[in-house]
Structure 1
Amino acid sequence: MIGLLIGAAALVSASPKTTLAPARLPGFAAALAERPLPTGAAAWSAKRDEAAWASLAAATPATRQALRWDYATSLIARGLAAEAIGVLDVMRADDPDLALVPAWMRARGVAAAMARHTSEALTMLGDDTLLGDSEACLWRMRTLADSYRAAEALGQLRCAMPALAGRTSAARRPFVIAAGSAAVDLGRASPAMAWLNAVPDDDPAANLLRGKAYALLGQMQPARLRLDRVILSGDDVEQADARLATIENGVASHTLPVGEATRQLETLLFTWRGDRIERRALELSVRLATATHDTGRMLASGATLFRYFDLGAASGPLVAQLQTQLAQALAPGSALSLVQAAGMFWDYRDIAPAGPVGNQLVENLVNRLQAAGLYGRAADLLDHRLDTQASDVERGPLTVRIASLQILAGTPDAAIRTLRGTDILAYPPDTLADRRRVEAAALQLLGKSAEALATVEDVPGGGALTAELYWRAHDWARLAAVGEQALPKSLPGVGRSALSEVGQAIVLRQAIALAMLGRESELAALRSRYGRAFETLPTGSAFATLTAQSGSIDPATLSNAMAALPAASPAGAFGDLLDQGSAAMSHPTKAG
């Protein structure tokens, strides 16, 4: 029977106020509303499951809801919160009017409080009809104390006293512990000790609070004794709390060296995750790291606090402190190596400063990484900035930089993804042309020459880019056709000043293309036009060889001539990007 009740409850919303539907079993809501609200032990009466199930099995539609109510209050009396929630929700499903009855709301709120459903419990127990109810006040006090809302919790005590007094000593214990905990959280040691006098001396939870209260009073020896007892006899949570309190007391009283306190905190944080204990340990770790100028520890502890805990108003000052520490650690001239600095920024990129300060921080790191040849890591930093901070105006130039760095890192496929993944914006003509140049370089490196040529077709100055792509593809016929238009038009004189390195490269590439095609008349014209200019240049021998009768050129001679070409590319940065990208792909381990 209980399985059926709980199963049915899963189909019902847990919202305390729902749109009222026709009742399947009407009548009990009104009867329950007419009953007085009992407090203390009388509010919840335990019964054996067998008797309750037998009664429910024999129930009629007229008696079923009343029997369910008796069973639900029995489950609450026995501390079976989830089961009680199931029964109460089934009751409401059969009679939506129950959601308006104070007794039902109180029972549902108490069950939610026992199950640690804090928000739901406070909503139910905070209904206007229950604000003066002593039993509801008592459970609100406990729930608020468990949620570390100490001042609000103690504000419920006056109202809660009749319900607390109506319980046995054993039944009062969790509420007394809650009140003592709230008093300790507020630094009210004497009232806390007065409350805890009602709890036996060997109770670990009470001793934990007694130890904290003694510390607040400056009585460190009895504080240490109480906490040591908890470490021996408490459960896992109480032991961890006692160990942390011992460290906190040692730091506060200057009896525990900072180094030893840090070591003990590390051990605790390694074995304990979550809840207020970890938060307190991390907060202490931040304070110690700040005092000892331990930037790494301060960032690690502070970032964990920021990422995983709801700090409320304390979040802003903590983030500001973390950002200042990060900026100082990564500033030019810091003691960190480049790899350490880049790793630190990447680990804490979610808390890095925004705006101009953050941009400059990234820019400095990117420049250092690029200078060191760590192009991939530089691209990753800029890609993070692209995803998190860049405005629409910044995105175009930033994507060009990222894709260029990815090519330099030997990953032209990543460059293609970067550019095509950011195609959604309408970029200015200059930016669009830059993006196409970089994309063409990436495509060429991936062996997609036809796509690369199509990409630069309408790009301003595309003739030089097209010639570069033909050159690298060894498409001699097309290179000869476009190369003719790129040849230097006039020579101001003869000798070294007549042709720049770029001009020499253009002429020599044209000569190679014509030689490979066997166009002797055009080679002769080329020799006649530029022969005197090459006579005194280091590349003169190569030019003479290339423009000689083609029948006298063997593959080795041609290879030597090609090796003598100037390093300057006629396509400028485009050619340099292709050269460096190709080298990075040939030696991926050197490509950052």
Structure 2
Amino acid sequence: MTRALLSGSLFEVSSTDKDNVETDAGKSATVSLRAALKTTAAVVFLSGFGVTSIALATPAVKQGIASAIASRAQIDIRVGRNDSAGRIEIYGSTGSKASVRREKGQVIVRLPGNLRPDIGDLSANPPEGISAVSIRQDSRATELLMTLKDGVETHFGRADGAVFVQIDLPKPETPAARGDITVTLQELSRTNKAASAASVQVKATAIDGGIDLSFPFATPVGASVFRRGESVWVVFDQEVDLNLPASLKGGAVVTSAAYARNDGFTALRLTAPAGAVTAKVENGLWTVRVGGRPVDAGQVSEVSVARDDTTGASALAVNMAGASRVAWIRDPAIGDRMAVVTARGPVKRLMSERTTPQAALGATSHGLVIERMTPDITVDVSGDIVTVSRPNGLALSAPAQWAREDVAARTLEYKPAAFPALMDEENWSKLPTSGPMSGFLGRYNQLQQQAADEADKGIGATTGARLSLARFLVGQGLNYEAIGVLDMLARQTPASLSDAQFRGLRAMAKIMAGRYRDAKADLDSTPLINDPAADLWRGYVAVQDGHFADARQSFKSGAGALDVFPPIWRTRFAAANATAAYQMNDLAAAKDLITYAVSQGAPPLETLEAQLVQAQIFEGMGDKTRALKMYNAIARAPLGRVAMPAQLRAARLNLSLGKSKPDETLEALNGLRYRWRGDDTELELISSIGDIYLGQGRYRQALDVMKTGGKQFGSSPDAVQIQNKLSTAFRGLFLEGQADGLQPVEALGLFYDFRDLTPVGADGDDMVRRLARRLMDVDLLDQSADLLQYQIDNRLQGVAKSSVAADVAAIQLMNRQPEKALQALWKTRTSLLPKPVMAERRILEARALTELGRTDHALEVLGTDNSGEAMDIRADIFWRDKDWAKAGAILEKRLGDRWKRDGALSLEDESRLIRAGVAYSLVSDQRALSRLADRFGKFAEGAQSPEAVHVALAGMDNGPINAQDFALAASKADSFTGWVAGMKKRLRDKASQPLPGAGTQRTAANEAAKAPQA
């Protein structure tokens, strides 16, 4: 039988509740929670949401549990089920040593030592075929006793490092007849294919920063949607097959997806480490959005949670219209159970978590999820009311506290802001003017003491005093201190992470501390999804990150909250919005927004910052004279962060208006650069200085200064823009010919100093080959070969690598290094090459062997190759072997019918003619020599060495030609010089063509680098 339990994938689905078999509810709660906390995933998850059951347990209880209950690393009991069988597997350092026997209708698992395994889940929810589970202990071992039902067969053994007990049922039961089914995702997938179920084609649509998942059901269905740690759960109250698109595997937002269906439910689990989750339903079409902006769900209602004491035992009553059923699901990432309540549309959500010692109601985007609960928790659905209870009642706070009356907060006059992310610096920073608590220290000490008293009350304490302390610190500009207080509050009271006021305050503190990326996590959290004030902060952060389109949309969504902010922040938000509009080239909107910003009555320096943006907008609109006057006026401000950018832009504008020279502007900008460091102004300075250097052709200085901006500021939008400009400049130098005016040695030094800017792909390869060609032209052959060899070793593969290796071999031959030429060829040898590349490499190998005197081997390499290059090498070989007749015949054949055309001979043909004449003379072939003279004698006068041509065609036996003249003619017949000249021309032509197998398309990154920057 296929195993029902596969590593880490266990999750259970059941519509029926579970009966508790433990009588001590507090103990079982602590034991169950303690077991869950043994996994890293559980620790991370639970620490973020606050479970009070451990805090409420007495020290004696906690000590007893710690000494008696084995950890999962010691004894880990796992249960799997399907239609016909059940399986229990026992892992761990102690569990894997267990022995198993069957005795009188029981299966007995004997565990060495006196560690007590956690059987809370197994007792409350045993697999089919087991009627009861208990434990007995003696001084030597602990025994787990499982009582079997009649007719049940078992077998047991060891597999995969675990002890297993297989339970075979006499007859398979239908899913509807069982109270519980626990299977793996893989097992359910197999069951799904075997059973008949409707199919739903899930559609995934990428949106800006997120993904939409659409579920088109044929009939109305209930659903529940929520996030749990890094997982997003979507549960429906119908069994269907979900056809998941391939894009859900390994995507940027959702990294994996798996679903299971059973007992009338379908549960989809997505792994999505970040991003808010929202849902909507229209005409049966459920849409779940992960990440990005919240989906427009229309009218959304909040789930109401109240205390219910009508039955005598305390319970929670949740009013959720359209509630349908309860699905019991085991989370494979954490290992605990949760009860998921589905509901029909429209969307109903629980914005913040509600926690009790025995159970927690998690925040949801729709529906309800009950988690971190003791085994005896029951969840019932009756109409629109969902009741969460236990046999002896839930341990709830006093009714007044349950109504969330915050006595401490009242004492501190803490009041929630009208919008969770609303800034009220003026009121938060007020100081008493009289009494013992007057002044900063008095007020700070008072708030700190009250915050400490509040924290001492434990995990369930109110948070008003600590939030008041954090507000006071923010109001005083002590933002890092406020972040510290809020982070400690999150650790002490994890439920505060579901509080919109907490999230908004921490986001503000982080933004004002310049930690924009950290602030995004709070701004994108579920409690702040629909807060217009948070939208304004999102827009402000988006401007800092250079995401101007997102900023414009966020500012638009938050416009309703702008007027309730103090003047200083109305000015800042409007100025940031104007900046975004300016960058989007919406100059009319930018002008209106900046006019609003400077009219808000903010402090003078804040107004000056807005006017600096206003001057930039005037400059963009073409009113440069007015902009220059404003820059000059703002440049006299006593605040550096305002004055420095004004001085920079004034200097740059003077240059563009012709009022200053480039050298004067450079002197001014370099002075500013060393006076002001570390922010966007320095980046703007670096970019401006680099542009002027490039305009003057001072490439090294330009690259040097721009490279500092890319290194120091990381992923800042302006730094990325400078890096793109730097890459574009480097491309212009070595790919578009701007460096052709530099001396080759100077160009080589510039390339080596900035070689990390070489783009990937075909463009980078072209750069190297072009530079290598320039070095070759001036006989810097070692440097040219080194450049191409680096390309072979680090950048190229396949055909392109073999082709460039042939270029290296040719350069090494020119450099009289035949051994290195052979190494370049042999190290890149492969049979999967185009015929032209193979032929080129064969010719070069034969020439290198010839240079080494291995002429027989060279002829073997040439084989039947009758190309012109191969014939030249054969002629060289016969010449070296003094086989003059064969050498002369081949050389004359290579000249072909060139005698029929006018014009001077090429250097190679002239060399062939001289050597052919010498060869025929040496074998006294007068007939051949006369034929050669008749055909090619007319070229002697226009030759580069006319005397040598005359001597070679005349022969030693004709006229006044002596041995000395003949020796001189032979020395002029240097085939190597002609070959080098021809090879240089071929390599020059080859450098302007794409590499074989490398493609001709430029990479998207390189095209982006070439695009003009905004």
Asked if TM exceeds 0.5, the reply is: yes
Distance 2:731 2:571 in 1: 45
Aligned position for 2:508: 110
1:38 aligns with 2:418: yes
Q: Is the 8 A contact 2:809 2:820 kept in 1?
A: yes
Aligned-partner Cα distance in 1 for 2:698–2:816: 35
CA-to-aligned-CA distance 1:117-162 (integer Å, 9 cap, x gap): 3234234224454344243233234323333445544544566567
How far, CA to CA, are the matches of 2:747 and 2:489 in structure 1?
A: 62
What whole-Å deviation, never above 9, does each CA across 1:377-432 have from its counterpart, x for those lacking one? 22332134225542323434645765897999999999999999x78989999999
Higher relative helix content: 1
* 1:23 pairs with one of 41, 50, 53: 50
1:323 matched to which residue of 2? 731
Matches within 5 A, 1:83-122: 83-122=481-520
Q: Work out which of the residue numbers 170, 184, 191 in structure 1 matches 2:593.
A: 191
Structure 2 CA distance for partners of 1:180 and 1:338, relative to 1, 3 Å: closer
3-state secondary structure, aligned to 1:232: coil
Residue type of the alignment partner of 1:323 = R
> Which residue of structure 2 lines up, in the alignment, with residue 146 of structure 1?
544
Aligned equivalent of 1:209: 613
Q: How does 1:47-446 map to 2 (within 5 A)?
A: 48-58=443-453, 59-61=456-458, 62-63=460-461, 65-127=463-525, 129-150=527-548, 152-157=550-555, 160=558, 164-169=562-567, 174-175=572-573, 177-179=575-577, 181-182=579-580, 185=583, 187=587, 188-197=590-599, 198-201=601-604, 204-216=608-620, 220=624, 223-251=627-655, 253-257=657-661, 260-261=664-665, 264-265=668-669, 275-281=679-685, 294=697, 296=699, 300=703, 304=707, 310=717, 323-324=731-732, 326-329=734-737, 334-347=740-753, 349=755, 362-370=768-776, 372-387=778-793, 389-396=795-802, 398=804
Q: Per the alignment, in what secondary structure is the counterpart of residue 241 of structure 1?
A: helix
Query: Do the aligned residues in 1 keep the contact of 2:486 with 2:506 (CA within 8 Å)?
Result: yes
Kindly tell me: are residues 416 and 99 of structure 1, through their superposed partners in 2, closer, same or farther at Cα, counting changes over 3 Å? Answer: farther
Structure 2: distance between partners of 1:495 and 1:253: 77
Q: Which amino acid is the alignment partner of residue 457 of structure 2?
A: T
Relative to total residues, which structure has the larger strand share, 1 or 2? 2
Counterpart contact for 2:802–2:825, Cα < 8 Å: no
Q: Equivalences for 1:500-519 in 2 at 5 Å?
A: none
Q: 1:236 to 1:418 in 2, by over 3 A?
A: farther
Is residue 598–residue 610 contact of structure 2 (8 Å, CA) maintained in 1? yes
Q: Is the 8 A contact 2:655 2:662 kept in 1?
A: yes
* Amino acid in structure 2 at the alignment position of 1:53: Q
Going from structure 1 to structure 2, the CA distance change for 1:154 and 1:400 (only over 3 Å counts) comes to: closer
Aligned residue for 2:636, secondary structure, equals helix
TM-score (structure 1 length as normaliser): 0.56
Distance across 2 between alignment mates of 1:460 and 1:90: 79
Instruction: Quote the RMSD (CA, aligned, Å).
Output: 6.2
Deviation at 1:254, TM superposition (A): 5.0
The Cα shift of 1:113 comes to 1.9
Q: 1:106 Cα deviation (Å)?
A: 1.8
Q: Equivalent residue for 1:556?
A: none
CA shift digits 1:230-277 (9 cap, x unpaired): 333344443331122213433554544566546645655676666544
C-alpha contact 2:574 2:596 (8 A) present in aligned 1: no
Distance, in Å, in 2 between the alignment partners of 1:432 and 1:60 is 82
Q: Which amino acid aligns with 2:472?
A: S
Q: 1:495 to 1:489 in 2, by over 3 A?
A: closer
Specify every segment of 5 or more residues in structure 2 that has no aligned partner in the other structure, as ranges. 1-40, 56-351, 355-400, 405-414, 430-439, 861-879, 887-918, 924-961, 965-973, 980-1014
C-alpha distance in structure 1 between counterparts of 2:819 and 2:681, whole Å:
47
Return closer, same or farther for 1:427/1:141 CA change in 2, 3 Å cut-off.
closer
CA gap 1:189/1:285 in 2 versus in 1, 3 angstroms: farther
Change (3 A) 1:265 1:406: farther
Alpha-carbon distance between aligned partners in 2 of 1:190 and 1:461, rounded to the nearest angstrom: 83
Describe the shift of the 1:233–1:425 C-alpha distance in structure 2 as closer, same or farther (beyond 3 A).
farther
Cα distance in 2 between the residues matched to 1:249 and 1:330: 27
Q: Count how many residue pairs are aligned between Structure 1 and Structure 2.
A: 465
Opposite residue 300 of structure 1, the aligned amino acid is: L
% same residue? 19
Q: Is the 8 A contact 1:496 1:537 kept in 2?
A: no
Distance 1:402 1:129 in 2: 64
SS in 2 for 1:244: helix
The AA in structure 1 aligned to 2:596 is: A
2: CA distance between counterparts of 1:328 and 1:289? Answer: 18
Q: Taking structure 1 as reference, are residues 182 and 313 closer, same or farther at Cα in structure 2, changes over 3 Å only? A: closer
Match of 1:390, SS state, is: coil
> Partner of 1:89: helix, strand, or coil?
helix
